[in-house]
Amino acid sequence: MGHYEFNTFDHNAIVGAHDTIKNLYFCVGFFGYRSQQASAYGRVVVELIVYGAFKTLDLSVLSYLRIPGNRPLTEQAVI
């Protein structure tokens, strides 16, 4: 088995800059298949650092700000 780490707030990744701590970027809370998407998430973080914004993929929905704002990201397509 092994350790199964995940984001307990809403079970989704956190990607983006901290709102008050300069130069602190999140790219955490992944598990399972999302680990296979690491290169895409890496590119997104590089874009945030270099350009200050998402360029290739808009992952603003995964922003850290949803946590202090108490806005969990809920699954919309559960079958």
pLDDT digits 0-9 by tens, 2-12: 666 677 888 88
Residue 38's pLDDT is what?
Answer: 83
- What integer is the mean pLDDT of 9-27? 92
CA angle 79, 15, 29 (to 5 degrees): 60
